[in-house]
Structure formats: C-alpha cells, structure tokens
Structure 1
Amino acid sequence: MHLSDATWTDADDVDTDLALLPVGSTEQHGPHAPLGTDWLNAEAVADAGAAAYDGEVVVAPPISVGVSEEHRQFTGTLWVSEDTFRRYVRETVASLAHHGWNRVVIVNGHGGNVAALREVAGTITRHDEAYAVPFTWFEAVGDHRSDMGHAGPLETAFLRHTRPDLVREDEIEAAREGASDGWGEWVSYTNLAYDSAEFTENGVVGDPTDGDEERGEELLELATQSLVKLLSAVESRDVSRPDRE
C-alpha cells in the first residue's frame, strides 16, 4: 500500500510491520535527465519491491531532498546538511513506527546519502522503537554495478524504462560529449575533488548512450529481486539488541 494514495482508514486496516521509505535527491543529472532522477528511481524500486513481495508492505512518500551539495554549481540542485537529513529520516521512521510499521527498509537512489543512511539506521535500531536498514538500488544489480556513474548508463537506462517521458533524447549526445569518465580526481587513492563541477563539464559521469530501455528493465528486475530478498530477511529477523556482555 502506498500511503500517498491511501486514506487513513485504508492505512488503519493494514496488518504488517514492514515499510519502505524511498529517499533520493533533487540534483542535476546532466542536460538529459531530470533533477528528480534519484528519488524517482528509488520510488520505482520501492513500488516494484512492494508489488513483488509475498505479503503486505507500506510504501511511504519519498524524501526528495538529500545530501547533494557536491552538485551545487548546477542550477536547480537542492541540498540539506547530513545532520538535517539524518534527523528527517529518523523522525520519519519514528512516525512510521508509531503506527506499527517498525521494520523499515530505506530505499536509496543517491550515492551522497549512503554514509548518512548507514549511520542513522544504526542510531534508529540502537535507540528507537524501530529496526531500519538502508538499501541502495544500484549496489544491488549484479555486474551492472561497476558502470554506475552519474546520469550515466545505469540511471539513463533505468529512466528510459520507467519514465521515458522525462528523458531528453535530443540531449543524449551532448550529455555524452560533456561527460567525464570517472568520479573525481584521484591521486594516491585519494579524491582531491569535492564538487562534481571540478571534473565534469555538464554534470554527467559515464556514457549515457550505453543505457538503453532493455538494460533499464533488467536493472529494475535485479533491484526488485534484491529488495524482495531483503524484505523477507527483515521481516523474519530477531531484532532484539544483544546483551551488554
């Protein structure tokens, strides 16, 4: 059940403790993909996972602004601090738990959120009346994972499958020409760059022409399979905390 589409009485009838919370960002994704790419993709994976799961799952509305200051030079990018993001996620999970949905998988679509989500999920699990785990969809797609850039082949393929109306196909070639080959400027295993504008002309990392609709379909299937497996583990897990010893 998607909370955005439900009434409170619909929600009151749901008999489950499982919830999915999509999170992403509103940030540049090159000249060809929308600013909402990350939260749109996270929501699509959450919806597909809930539909495929053998049991009831509540899908919360997406958190659409994340930790994205690294894209601040590109117009339209919105961001909050890690502290603000963690607090918002924690309090959203707390409100889900208040209604009994206290086993929460946070479905993430933005790389910049990963560290903050792992930390806040640990805090929730240790100190709140809920159990939370983060799931980043593009880390759960098998060998495709190695092609993850930014607005590159994976995200472009995914959008071409789920939201083709939002992909500016007439800008794909420009996106490819202005892209960088990798994320950052690396010396001695250290990334010297903090902002994406330091190493990519138009915000793209990777070649979006390598991401067709067929690949997007496979990505969604793989991410969905991974999420369903995770939901099953979260539902059956003993989430009591170990003794201090």
Structure 2
Amino acid sequence: MHLSEATWTDAADAETDLALLPVGSTEQHGPHAPLGTDASTAKAVAEAASEAYDGEVVVAPAIPVGVAEEHRHFTGTLWVSPDTFRAYVRETVASLAFHGWDRVIVVNGHGGNVPALGEVCATISRHDAANAVPYTWFEGVGDQRTDMGHGGPLETALLRWIEPDLVREDRIEEAREGAAERWGEWVSRVNLAVDSAEFTENGVVGDPGEGSAKRGEELLALASAALVELMEAIEGREYDTRKR
C-alpha cells in the first residue's frame, strides 16, 4: 500500500507493522540524467520489493532532499545538513510508528545519505518506539556495485528501465567525455576531495553508455530481491522492546 495513493481509511485497514521509507536526493547527475535520480531509483526499488513481498507492507512517500552539499557547484542541487536530515527521517519514522508501522526499512538511493542514515537508524532502534534499518539499493546488486560511479553505468541503466524518457540520450557522449574514472582524489587511501567538482568536469563518474535498459532490469531485480530478503528478516525478527 502506497500512503500517497491511499485514503486514511485504507491506511487504517492495513494489517502490518512493516513500512518502507524511500529517501533520495535532488542533485546533479551529469548532463544526461535528472536531478531527482536518487529519489526515483529508491522509490522504484521500494515499489518493486513491495510487489514481490509475500505479505502486506506500507510504502511511504519518498524524501527527496538529502545530504548532498558535495554537489553544490552544479546548479539545481539541493541539500540539508546531516542534523536536519537525521531529524526529518527520525520524525517521519516516529509518525509511521504512531500508526503501528514500527518496523521500518529506509530505502536509500544516495551515497551521501549513508553515514547519517546509519546513525539515525541506530538512534531510533535504541531509543524510540520503533526499529529502523537502512538499505542502500546499489549495495544490494552483488558484484555490479563496483560500477556504481555517479550518473554512471548503474544509475543510468536503472533510469533507462524505470524512467527512460528522463534520460537525455543525445547527451550521453557529452556525459562520457566529461566524466571521471573514479570517485574522489585518493592519496594513501585518503580522499582529498571535498566536493565532486574537484575531480569531475560535469559531475559524472563512470561511463553512462555502459548502462543499458536490460542491465537496469537486472539491477532492479537484484536490488528488490535483496530488499525482500531484508523485509522477511525484519518482519520475523524478535526485538528487545526495552529501550536503553
């Protein structure tokens, strides 16, 4: 059940304690992919998993702005501080839990959100009337995750499968020519770059030309299957209800 499409009476009839909360970002993804890529992909993975799951689950509306100041040099990028992001996620989970959906998986589509999500989900599970775990979709695609990049093969492939009209196919070559080979500027296993503009001319990392729609279909299947496995584990897990 998608909360944004349901009525309150539909929601009241839901017989589950499990919810998915997609979170993404509004940030540059090169000249060929939309600013809303991360929210779109997180939402698509959550929806696919909810359809494949053998049980009822509530899917909350996606949170579209995240921790993305590293892309600030590229027009259209929006960001909030980690503190604001953590607070927003925590309070959203609290409102889900108020209605009885107190086992929440935060389905993430943006790498910059990962540290804050790990922290806030731990805080929720320790101290609030809910249990929350983070799941980042591109960590659930097996060995393909090594091709992640940014606006590169994986994101472009998934977009070509779920939202093909949003990919500017006539700009793929431009995206490829201005792309970096890897994320960051590394010395002694330390990334010296603070912002993406320091190492990529147009915001892209990796070759988006390698991201076919067929690959996107496979990625969605892998990411959603991994999420379903996590959903089954969360639904069946016994939690210590004593909050410390």
Give 3-state SS (helix, strand or coil) of 1:165's partner: helix
**Paired residues for 1:87-236 under 5 Å:** 87-236=87-236
Q: Shift in Å at residue 241 of structure 1?
A: 5.3
> What is the total number of aligned residue pairs between the two structures?
244
Contact 1:17/1:103 (<8 A) preserved: yes
Give 3-state SS (helix, strand or coil) of 1:179's partner: coil
1:135-163, CA deviations, whole angstroms, 9 ceiling, x for partnerless residues?
00000001101101000000000000000
Q: Check if 1:61 corresponds to 2:65.
A: no
Large movers: runs of 4+ above 2 Å: 241-244
Q: Shift in Å at residue 242 of structure 1?
A: 7.3
Contact 2:125/2:132 (<8 A) preserved: yes
1:62-116, CA deviations, whole angstroms, 9 ceiling, x for partnerless residues?
0000000000000000000000000000000000000000000000000000010
Give 3-state SS (helix, strand or coil) of 1:3's partner: coil
Gaps of 5+ in 2: none
Cα distance in 1, alignment partners of residues 81 and 169 from structure 2: 33
Give 3-state SS (helix, strand or coil) of 1:97's partner: helix
Cα distance in 1, alignment partners of residues 11 and 126 from structure 2: 27
Q: What amino acid is aligned across from residue 90 of structure 2 in structure 1?
A: R
Give 3-state SS (helix, strand or coil) of 2:161's partner: helix
Give 3-state SS (helix, strand or coil) of 2:10's partner: helix
Cα distance in 2, alignment partners of residues 189 and 163 from structure 1: 36
Q: 1:190 to 1:92 in 2, by over 3 A?
A: same
What is the aligned partner in structure 2 of residue 79 from structure 1? 79
Give 3-state SS (helix, strand or coil) of 1:25's partner: coil
What is the aligned partner in structure 2 of residue 24 from structure 1? 24
Give 3-state SS (helix, strand or coil) of 2:133's partner: strand
Contact 2:158/2:216 (<8 A) preserved: yes
Contact 1:28/1:203 (<8 A) preserved: yes
Cα distance in 2, alignment partners of residues 215 and 105 from structure 1: 25
Give 3-state SS (helix, strand or coil) of 1:101's partner: coil
Q: Report the RMSD for the aligned CA atoms in angstroms.
A: 1.0
Contact 2:102/2:130 (<8 A) preserved: yes
Cα distance in 1, alignment partners of residues 2 and 70 from structure 2: 31
Q: Shift in Å at residue 243 of structure 1?
A: 9.2
Q: 1:242 to 1:33 in 2, by over 3 A?
A: same
Q: 1:174 to 1:138 in 2, by over 3 A?
A: same
Percent identity, aligned pairs only, is 73
Q: Shift in Å at residue 239 of structure 1?
A: 1.2
Contact 1:68/1:79 (<8 A) preserved: yes
Give the alignment's TM-score, normalised by structure 1.
0.98
Cα distance in 2, alignment partners of residues 237 and 129 from structure 1: 16
Cα distance in 2, alignment partners of residues 33 and 144 from structure 1: 20
